[in-house]
Amino acid sequence: MNPLHRSVDSPYPVPVAEVAVREFEVAAPPTTAHHAAVRPEVRSDSVRGSLVGLGDGRRWGWWGPVDRDVAARAPGLLHAAFPRLPAAADPATFARRLRRATRHAHTGLLSLTVGALELAMWDLAGRRAELPVWALLAERAARTSVPAYATCFGVSAGSARAAAVMEDVAEDFPVQKWQPDVLAAGAFERTAEFVARRGPGRLAVDFLGTWDPDNVRVACRPLSGALAWVEEPYHPDEVDRASSGEFGAPHAAGEHCYGVADAAQLRAGHVDVWQPDAVFCGGMSSLLQLVRAAAEAGAVCSPHGGGLLPALHLAVLGEPIATIELHLLLEPRRCAHLATPPRVDGGELDVPCAPGWSGDIRTDIADG
C-alpha cells in the first residue's frame, strides 16, 4: 500500500528526462543567519557541496548538499532503475524502484543516493505544481509551526561562554543537545547548575555511537533523571543490546536507520526517542514509515537535522513528529545553496510556502 495518501489532485506521475550532479562553492552565510547565542563560533570558510537533480525537460528538482561520493552514484542508480529516459515515476514509490534496481541499494552510500534522488523527485513534483511538497498531499497545513530542538555542537562546553550559550538557547528551545564534553570535569559544574536552574528534560547529550555503554552510564549517572535523552550510547550495530532505562534518561537513536526494516532494531533496544534521517533512510516515503513505526512503538520521533526539510513537511501534514533537530552552527551552512532557506522564529520552524522543499536554489548554481 502506498504510505502517502493524497487528498488533493496532484501532478502524478512525474516525467523524468534528465539527472544531474552539481558541485558548488558559495560564501559562508552571514553571521546573522545563525542564532545569536552561537555567533562568535560561526565559521567564515566557504560552503562546498554536491546537489543531486532531476529534470522533466523544463524544470529541475534538487536535493543537497550531499557528499560527493553519494552524488556521484546518482546517474548510474537512476539509469539502473529507469534504463530509458524520459520515464514516468510516482514520487511515493520512486525509492522502492531505485532500491530494487540493485541488491546493494538498501544500505550504506547507495541508500543515501536513493534518498537524495527521491527527495529531488519530490522537489521536482512540487516545482511542477508550484506548491510546497506538503501541499501536494493535503489541502491545508495541520500545524501553524513545528518545534525544533537545538544542537550546540561547535561550542566548547569548557569555554567561558558555555553557560551564557546554554541560557540564551534555553530561552528559545525546549531542549538543547551537547557533545559529551558537557559532562567532563571542567564543564560538569556549570552543566549541573544549568540543569538545576532550568529543570529536568532541557539538556540532551550525544555520544555519537563511539563510547562504550559502560562509560556512558558512568558519565550520565550524576544527572540521572535530569537529562532529556542520551543519544547513541550504543554503536548503531548494537542498539538492540540496550535495556530500558539503563542510562537514567530516555535512550535516543535511529539516525543511522537505512530503511524501514531497521525499526525492528530500535524496538528491540527499547529506544525511547527515534531520530531517523530522510536522506540516510532512503527518502520521505521511508521516513514517513519510520515516523509511524515510532508512534506504534510508543516512542517519540524527533528526526535528525540532515533531513530537516522532509521532516518539516511531514510534521506540517500532522504526522507524529515531536520536534526536529536544528543544528545552530551547521544548518545555515546546509541551506547555503537555497535562495529561500527555511524560516525559524524562536524555537519554531515556519510552515514552508515556496514550491518544492524550500523554493529555488541559488541562481549562481542552478543552471544546467
DSSP three-state, residue 242: coil
Compute the average pLDDT of residues 176-190: 96
Clarify whether residues 238 and 187 are in a common domain. yes
Domain that holds residue 253: 145-364
CA dihedral over 256, 237, 232, 146, signed as positive or negative: positive
pLDDT at 365: 85
Q: How confident is the model at residue 244 (pLDDT cuts 50, 70, 90)?
A: very high
Q: Would you list the DSSP string of 186-236? A: TTHHHHHHHHHHH-TTSEEEE-TTTS-HHHHHHHHGGGTTT-SEEE--S-G
Compute the average pLDDT of residues 144-162: 96
Where does a domain end: 100, 130, 160?
130
Contact 280, 304 (CB under 8 A): yes
pLDDT at 11: 54
Which residues are within 8 A (CB) of 55 and not within 5 positions of it... i.e. 6 or more apart? 16, 17, 18, 19, 20, 61, 124, 368
pLDDT over 80 at 351, yes or no: yes
pLDDT over 90 at 58, yes or no: yes
Clarify whether residues 234 and 330 are in a common domain. yes
Measured between alpha carbons, how far is 304 from 311 in angstroms, rounded to an integer?
Answer: 8
pLDDT over 60 at 368, yes or no: no
The answer as to whether 4 is a domain residue is no
Clarify whether residues 113 and 166 are in a common domain. no
Contact 114, 95 (CB under 8 A): yes
The answer as to whether 289 is a domain residue is yes
Measured between alpha carbons, how far is 172 from 326 in angstroms, rounded to an integer?
Answer: 12
pLDDT tens sequence across 10-54: 457 999 999 999 999 999 999 999 999 999 999 999 999 999 999
The answer as to whether 21 is a domain residue is yes
Closest Cα to residue 318, out of 339, 335, 301? Answer: 301
Clarify whether residues 103 and 163 are in a common domain. no
pLDDT over 90 at 183, yes or no: yes
Q: How confident is the model at residue 9 (pLDDT cuts 50, 70, 90)?
A: very low
271: cell is 529506544
Contact 141, 15 (CB under 8 A): no
pLDDT over 50 at 6, yes or no: no
The answer as to whether 137 is a domain residue is no
pLDDT at 7: 42
Measured between alpha carbons, how far is 313 from 131 in angstroms, rounded to an integer?
Answer: 12
| DSSP-derived secondary structure letter, 36 | G
CATH of the domain at 238: 3.20.20.120
Percent of the chain topping pLDDT 70: 96
pLDDT tens sequence across 74-111: 999 999 999 999 999 999 999 999 999 998 888 889 99
Cβ of 82: how many Cβ atoms within 10 Å? 18
pLDDT tens sequence across 101-145: 998 888 889 999 999 999 999 999 999 999 999 999 999 999 999
Clarify whether residues 53 and 155 are in a common domain. no
**Total domains in the fold of the chain:** 2
pLDDT at 105: 86
pLDDT at 12: 75
pLDDT at 349: 98
Q: Which amino acid is at 161?
A: R
Clarify whether residues 64 and 115 are in a common domain. yes
pLDDT over 60 at 175, yes or no: yes
Percent of the chain topping pLDDT 90: 93
Closest Cα to residue 153, out of 336, 329, 306, 347? Answer: 329
